[in-house]
């Protein structure tokens, strides 16, 4: 029985693992977390719209009925490609085939000062930290001198892609509907939300009409949108831009870029721009017959996508299904097939009744786009209980414009005696 090791319990990892199990494969799934996290809704955790448990699902529960299936809650630190072994902090595991599906992390483009002071949002843990961070700053704003108060009321979001647009819209709705009731001593007319994008438009990868509408929706909500603007520095109190301007702020949310989570042990020549792993059309890592890479961490060039496949969940899922078929072909001594992604569209929500959707043949915006966005994301969430929780939260928030999830949950720290 062929032993297949999968590193990463994200979209690609769990899709492939679920298909391989029960098909005469021994599957080993490795992840430093013991749960799958639904990345498209991290921003709702960060803005107190959903609890982390609503968008997370235990890996062991997901695969508890699978045969020949093993889960290890460990972080793989090194790959020994010559000996076909994985190395973790405590153990060494062998494999016949290895699949790297480790996804991406935040890219600060080498600016350590920004990295040390801005807040990323690429995991449930980071989203929960950001929720705490924002709420704690409002608590601090109650007690600082008047001349320092504005620092705590300015929020800067860097990156005008879907994440940046969605978190900007969510914060703007909080400022209008929720925060004035929670903090009546603060004048939230003075709270400024800035969305900063280095390109010439928001949602640059989407259609012209969707990009235009997203900017209009944000401005309607009172978000200050700066395009063709780059952040050059942030020291924790002041953010600086390439045009010489600056804004005093204690909160900079970094949603400006991603880079692949690569693992030591592969030939350095297969690591390309964006810290992604070069793979062929069969998802094989260049130079390796038994090692594959999927999803955001994989850099695959094809006729439709000469600059690499889009780093979105639908690509990860499709690549996983395609690799599953090729592994079956390999087992049955049939030829493997090349992968090409058929674009299924893209979307982003800005606020209540405001979203943009690009499908392969047409685009639409507004209320129906918002309903479409909600329905699709609800269907993609794992677990019936999670779907019910998210749906209930959304319905409650729609009719009340409020939510009771604004909890500051600090991690426990053991005091040394």
Full DSSP string of 174-223: HHHHTHHHH-TTS-GGG-EEEEE-SSSSSSTTS-HHHHHHHHHHHHHTT-
CA gap 10, 100 in Å, rounded? 11
CA gap 351, 373 in Å, rounded? 11
Mean pLDDT by 10 residues, the chain (417 residues): 94 95 88 95 94 94 92 96 94 96 94 95 94 96 93 97 96 95 94 96 94 97 97 96 96 95 95 95 96 97 93 95 95 92 93 95 95 95 92 91 84 78
Average predicted confidence (pLDDT) for the chain? 94
CA gap 329, 323 in Å, rounded? 10
Radius of gyration of the chain, Cα coordinates, nearest whole angstrom: 22
Query: What is the topology classification, in CATH, of domain 2-106+258-331?
Result: FAD/NAD(P)-binding domain (3.50.50)
**Looking at residue 65, what is its pLDDT?**
86
**Looking at residue 405, what is its pLDDT?**
85
For CATH 3.50.50.60, list the domain ranges present in the chain: 2-106+258-331
**Pairing between β-strand 69-72 and β-strand 192-196 as defined by DSSP bridges:** unpaired
* Beta-carbon-side half-sphere exposure of residue 2 (alpha carbons within 13 Å): 17
CA gap 170, 382 in Å, rounded? 23
pLDDT 10s digits, 124-171: 999 999 999 999 999 999 999 999 999 999 999 999 999 999 999 999
* φ and ψ at residue 57, rounded to 5 degrees: -145, 130
Sheet strands side by side (includes 2-7): 69-72, 25-30, 2-7, 97-100, 291-293
The CA-based diameter of the chain, rounded to the nearest angstrom, is 73
Torsion angle of C-alpha atoms 114, 118, 121, 122, degrees rounded to 10? 30
For CATH 3.50.50.100, list the domain ranges present in the chain: 112-256
CA gap 369, 348 in Å, rounded? 9
* φ and ψ at residue 395, rounded to 5 degrees: -65, -45
CA gap 30, 239 in Å, rounded? 39
* φ and ψ at residue 372, rounded to 5 degrees: -65, -45
**Cα→Cα distances 60→42, 57, 75, 355, Å:** 22, 9, 16, 35
Is the domain covering 112-256 a CATH 1.10.3720.10 domain? no
- Coil, strand or helix: which one is 79? strand
The sign of the dihedral angle between the CA atoms of 284, 287, 289, 293 is negative
**Looking at residue 411, what is its pLDDT?**
79
CB atoms within 10 A of CB 326: 20
């Amino acid at each position: 029985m062929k032993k297949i090791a999968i590193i990463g319990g994200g979209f690609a990892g769990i899709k492939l693992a679920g298909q391989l199990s029960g098909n005469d494969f021994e599957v080993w799934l490795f992840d430093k977390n013991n749960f799958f996290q639904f990345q498209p809704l991290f921003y709702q955790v960060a803005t107190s719209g959903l609890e982390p448990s609503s968008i997370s699902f235990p890996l062991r529960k997901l695969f508890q009925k699978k045969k020949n299936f093993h889960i290890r809650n460990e972080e793989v630190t090194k790959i020994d490609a010559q000996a076909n072994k994985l190395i973790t902090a405590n153990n060494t595991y062998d494999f016949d085939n290895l699949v790297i599906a480790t996804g991406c992390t935040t890219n600060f483009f080498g600016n350590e000062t920004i990295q040390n002071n801005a807040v990323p949002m690429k995991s449930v843990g980071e989203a929960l930290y950001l929720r705490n961070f924002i709420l704690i700053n409002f608590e601090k704003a109650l007690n600082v001198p008047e001349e320092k108060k504005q620092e705590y009321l300015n929020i800067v979001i860097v990156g005008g892609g879907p994440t940046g647009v969605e978190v900007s819209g969510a914060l703007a709705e909080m400022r209008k509907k929720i925060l004035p009731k929670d903090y009546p001593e603060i004048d939230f007319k003075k709270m400024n939300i800035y969305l900063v994008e280095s390109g010439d438009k928001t949602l640059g990868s989407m259609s012209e009409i969707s990009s235009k509408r997203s900017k209009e929706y944000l401005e309607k909500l009172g978000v200050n949108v700066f395009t063709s603007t780059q952040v050059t520095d942030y020291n924790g109190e002041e953010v600086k831009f390439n045009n010489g301007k600056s804004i005093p702020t204690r909160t900079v949310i970094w949603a400006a870029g991603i880079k692949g989570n690569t693992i030591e042990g592969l030939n350095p020549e297969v690591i390309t721009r964006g810290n992604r792993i070069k793979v062929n059309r069969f998802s094989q890592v260049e130079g390796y017959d038994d090692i594959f890479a999927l999803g955001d961490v994989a850099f695959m060039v094809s006729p439709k996508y000469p600059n690499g496949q889009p780093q979105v969940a639908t690509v990860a899922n499709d690549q996983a299904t395609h690799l599953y078929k090729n592994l079956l072909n390999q087992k049955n001594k049939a030829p493997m097939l090349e992968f090409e992604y058929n674009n299924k569209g893209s979307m982003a929500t800005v606020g209540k009744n405001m979203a943009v959707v690009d499908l392969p043949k047409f685009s639409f915006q507004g209320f129906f786009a918002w309903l479409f966005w909600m329905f699709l994301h609800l269907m993609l969430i794992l677990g019936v209980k999670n779907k019910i929780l998210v749906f209930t939260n959304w319905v409650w928030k729609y009719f009340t414009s409020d939510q009771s999830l604004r909890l500051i949950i600090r991690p426990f720290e053991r005091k040394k005696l």
